[in-house]
Structure 1
Amino acid sequence: MVRRKHRKLSEDDHEVWSMVTQTTVPLHSVKPFNITFKPEPERAPLAKKPSRQMIRPLTQIGGMRPEARVTVNLALDPMKASETSTHQMDRKNFDRLRKGKIKPDARLDLHGLTAAQAHSELTAFIHRSHSAGKRLALVITGKGNSTRVDEGIMPTRQGILRHSLPHWLNRPDLKPKILQITPAHAKHGGGGAYYVYLRRTR
């Protein structure tokens, strides 16, 4: 392989090179990147886990074991309260009513209804019966169970309709239409029903 000989620059070449070097603008030098590292913030120390001695099983609520059965002394039975209350009817008709000798003109069965539904049905029934000139209405609530209370933190009264009905009938919208409230005779439901004797329409 034959090596090429270096050719010497002529005067013209030197002149051209000199012009090039005079007109060439040098490139800007690249500045190095300025990288800074911020220190990580200090982490708060983790809370210590409670020891086993601090954790106690929840076995008592309000001083009562959850497996214990609750017995609550409920208020006076509304049936007994109705029997001992003063009667507004004349004595003769009241005795006939208590002995089941007066046939009811209207009948309402509240079995299977919630308290809200029963209250609404009862209100409409009393207004309707009074407007129609009925005198004796029979309202059946069912006996329920006034001595047993469901297990749990918040006891639930049994026979809520039976206990609530006298209070509903004594509300201002119904009381003026009613002359007497008393437990029904056994042949009309006994302790699970009420006689509601209505006033005469004016």
Structure 2
Amino acid sequence: MTRRKLSADEVALWRKVTDKTEALDQRSTFDPEAYAPQARAKDHPRPKPDFGKLNTQFPPKPEPRKNTIHLAPSLPDQLRRAPVQMDQKTFGKMTRGKIKPEGRIDLHGMTLDRAHAALTKFILSGHASGKRLVLVITGKGKNRDEGGPIPVRFGVLRHQVPQWLSAPPLASVVMQVSEAHISHGGGGAYYVYLRRRR
């Protein structure tokens, strides 16, 4: 790229600018020696280390961080940890599949609204007729989690039924809820032990 020559007007304008400016005295505005590393080192000399008095003990290792995230236990774990409200011997027989349920309801394929209404009617009518052990089949559910930021529960009915059974009006007639034995559906079904009619 070649430089173009200034026009007569541009040269005249430049001369007007330079006539009005004054040259700065760099010494009065900036003292480079004040900022030089040597000047600072002379003003504040570093103490020399005494290698004879070094502390050879290392500080103790920091303790590992404690994990504060408490994940909710799985549904089967919650049911296993729940206190046994019924006779211990009967409970043992029930969880081993030795007691035959007196009634059963299959909630497969139902929406939450339909399933809740059907379960409520089934449990209350079973209690009214004097049944003690009933089987509620929910199915294990389908994995609908598509890897999004919010996890989707595996088996909506399977997680919802124990909550319905522990809330009114069913809580007053339900004594114990337990995961069914493999012969009666395993993780896809629940034993519901009802209270005696009064």
More helix by share: 2
Q: Which has the larger radius of gyration?
A: 1
Residues 1:173 and 2:173 are matched in the alignment: no
Q: What residue identity is the alignment partner of 2:187? A: G
Q: What residue identity is the alignment partner of 2:121? A: A
SS of corresponding position for 1:119: helix
After TM superposition, the score normalised by the length of structure 2 is 0.61
SS of corresponding position for 1:112: coil
How many residues align? The count is 129
Residues 1:82 and 2:53 are matched in the alignment: no
| Number of the residue aligned with 2:179 | 183
Deviation digits for residues 116-170 of structure 1 (CA, Å, limit 9, x no counterpart): 1111110011011000111101000011257x61344654323000001110001
Residues 1:101 and 2:119 are matched in the alignment: no
| Number of the residue aligned with 2:52 | none
Q: For residues 145 and 74 of structure 1, what CA distance do their matches in structure 2 show?
A: 22
Deviation digits for residues 32-67 of structure 1 (CA, Å, limit 9, x no counterpart): xxxxxxxxxxxxxxxxxxxxxxxxxxxxxxxxxxxx
Task: Find the partner of 1:132 among 129, 138, 158.
Answer: 129
Q: What residue identity is the alignment partner of 1:81? A: Q
Whether contact under 8 Å (1:77, 1:163) holds in the other structure is no
Q: For residues 185 and 152 of structure 1, what CA distance do their matches in structure 2 show?
A: 34
Percent identical among aligned pairs is 51
Q: What residue identity is the alignment partner of 1:92? A: K
How far apart are residue 76 of structure 1 and its match? 2.5
How far apart are residue 77 of structure 1 and its match? 2.0
Q: Which aligned pairs between 1:39-188 and structure 2 lie closer than 5 A? A: 75-145=72-142, 149-152=145-148, 155-188=151-184
Q: What residue identity is the alignment partner of 1:78? A: L
Q: Which runs of 5+ in 1 are unaligned?
A: 1-72
After TM superposition, the score normalised by the length of structure 1 is 0.60
Q: What residue identity is the alignment partner of 1:135? A: R
SS of corresponding position for 1:143: coil
How far apart are residue 75 of structure 1 and its match? 3.7
Deviation digits for residues 160-183 of structure 1 (CA, Å, limit 9, x no counterpart): 000011100011211110111000
SS of corresponding position for 2:97: coil
Q: For residues 161 and 185 of structure 1, what CA distance do their matches in structure 2 show?
A: 18
Sort the Cα spacing of 1:190 and 1:137 in 2 relative to 1 into closer, same or farther, 3 A. same
Moved over 4 A (4+): 151-155
Sort the Cα spacing of 1:118 and 1:142 in 2 relative to 1 into closer, same or farther, 3 A. same
